[in-house]
Amino acid sequence: MALYTTDLLILGSGPAGYTAGIYAARAGISVTIVSGNQEGGQLTMTSAIENFPGFEEISGFELMDKMKNQAVKLGVQFVNDYIVEVDFAHRPFVCSSENGHSYKAKAVIIATGSSAKWLNLESEKKFLGYGVSACATCDGFFYRGRTVVVVGGGNSAVAEALYLATLADRVILVHRRHQLRADKILQDRVKENRKIVVEWDSVVEEILGVDEPKKVTGIRVRNVETDATKVINADGVFVAVGHQPNTEIFKGNLVLDSKGYIVTHANCSATDVEGVFAAGDVKDPKYKQAVISAGSGAIAAMDAIEYLDSVA
Ligand code: NAP
């Protein structure tokens, strides 16, 4: 059980957390980043990023690795750990981890991001890891030459469908409406991809499978226009229906909105607790782009630097 003492503690190691670390370290502040349970955050599950300026195409893993190296090179202390409790009522702030470590800091930037949402079906839980996944980059490899379903109509679902089409023989994109939410460029690629078919206006009622050996065999969908149901045979189901902010531990400590996002003051990263700032997807219900998270991290660092100067 260790006690870490730092000027600025950053929770989360996605683009917001690393960018905040890079900016704060360059200002001569002692900075500690606690990784969270997925080092590098959600982007590490993205196979190809082509809209982060400066990189025509880069894998999410490589981009995050570069950000980490840059932060560490500038003097950021990086700890692989997961915070389970925060005390923002006293100063210095104290955050406690699942490993029993304590982190004392004069200022905190929360950049804990968001996590994939699920359909909340019993059968989804049952076959999780046995054909049900939320990460095509992680699990797509197992579906070479097979048929897979992707559920959702946003950028994540479409990006996953396009990626899976490079491996699987057939990809069925199941969307609950008649229009995708994804960027037009991605929609066009879906239309042009002969391996991908879209099952419009359809909700997944059940994920079907067998027990011995445990595996997915398909899904039952219901058409919301006609109410007709049908079975679609498939070997894997990838769920990509959006994200929710990772703010469970901040309930009761900070003001959150109705969907659980951290509320910050207008045009800055300050939360309702002086000295605690928020950056990236954890406070952003709308834009959720890597480049925006990075910018948001820079803003939070600048706010934290100003705050630390004011209390020095
Ligand atoms: P999203 O944009 O919120 O899309 C979620 C999709 O899932 C929507 O199509 C939604 O349907 C559907 N959905 C939600 N709940 C559902 C349910 N219970 N059952 C069935 N379908 C459900 O989320 P996202 O695709 O994860 O993207 C999150 C953010 O990351 C977005 O801002 C996105 O632009 C960004 N992103 C960007 C890229 C990129 O390459 N630029 C890649 C991935 C993600 P409705 O359309 O009917 O609401």
Q: How many CB atoms lie within 10 A of CB 141?
A: 9
Q: How far is the CA of 117 from the centre of ligand 1 (A)?
A: 10
Q: How far is the CA of 278 from the centre of ligand 1 (A)?
A: 22
CA distance 287 to 282: 11
Q: How far is the CA of 92 from the centre of ligand 1 (A)?
A: 38
Please tell me if the CB atom of residue 222 comes closer than 6 angstroms to any atom of ligand 1.
Answer: no
Summarised one tens digit per residue, pLDDT across range 177-221 is: 999 999 999 999 999 999 999 999 999 999 999 999 999 999 999
**Mean pLDDT computed over 113-136:** 94
Please tell me if the CB atom of residue 9 comes closer than 6 angstroms to any atom of ligand 1.
Answer: no
Summarised one tens digit per residue, pLDDT across range 218-241 is: 999 999 999 999 999 999 999 999
Q: Catalytic site residues?
A: 135, 138-139
Band of residue 268 on the pLDDT scale cut at 50, 70, 90: very high
CA distance 239 to 228: 22
Residues 6+ apart with CB under 8 A from 120: none
CA distance 279 to 272: 14
Q: How far is the CA of 162 from the centre of ligand 1 (A)?
A: 15
Please tell me if the CB atom of residue 119 comes closer than 6 angstroms to any atom of ligand 1.
Answer: yes
CA–CA distances in Å: residue 228 to residues 12, 180, 218, 223, 233: 44, 21, 17, 5, 16
Atom of ligand 1 at shortest distance to CA of 116? 26
Let me know: does 33 contact 13? Beta carbons within 8 Å: yes
The pair of structure tokens assigned to 78 is 């990086």
- Which among 79, 127, 88 is positioned nearest to 106, based on CA atoms? 88
Summarised one tens digit per residue, pLDDT across range 81-90 is: 999 999 999 9
Hey, what amino acid is at 168? Answer: A
Query: Is it the case that residue 125 has pLDDT exceeding 90?
Result: yes
CA distance 281 to 38: 15
Summarised one tens digit per residue, pLDDT across range 3-48 is: 999 999 999 999 999 999 999 999 999 999 999 999 999 898 777 7
CATH of 3-115+243-311, one of 3.50.50.60, 3.40.1410.10, 3.80.30.20, 3.40.30.10: 3.50.50.60
Please tell me if the CB atom of residue 278 comes closer than 6 angstroms to any atom of ligand 1.
Answer: no
Nearest CA to ligand 1 atom 18: 119
What HEC string does 79-119 produce?
A: ECCCEEEEECCCCCEEEEECCCCEEEEEEEEECCCEEECCC
Task: List, by residue range, all CATH 3.50.50.60 domains of the chain.
Answer: 3-115+243-311, 122-239
CA distance 299 to 126: 42
Angle at 211 between CA 210 and CA 213, to 5 degrees: 95
- Which among 150, 151, 152, 163 is positioned nearest to 189, based on CA atoms? 163
CATH code for the domain defined by 122-239: 3.50.50.60
Please tell me if the CB atom of residue 19 comes closer than 6 angstroms to any atom of ligand 1.
Answer: no
Q: What pLDDT is stored for residue 54 in this prediction?
A: 97
The pair of structure tokens assigned to 279 is 């950056």
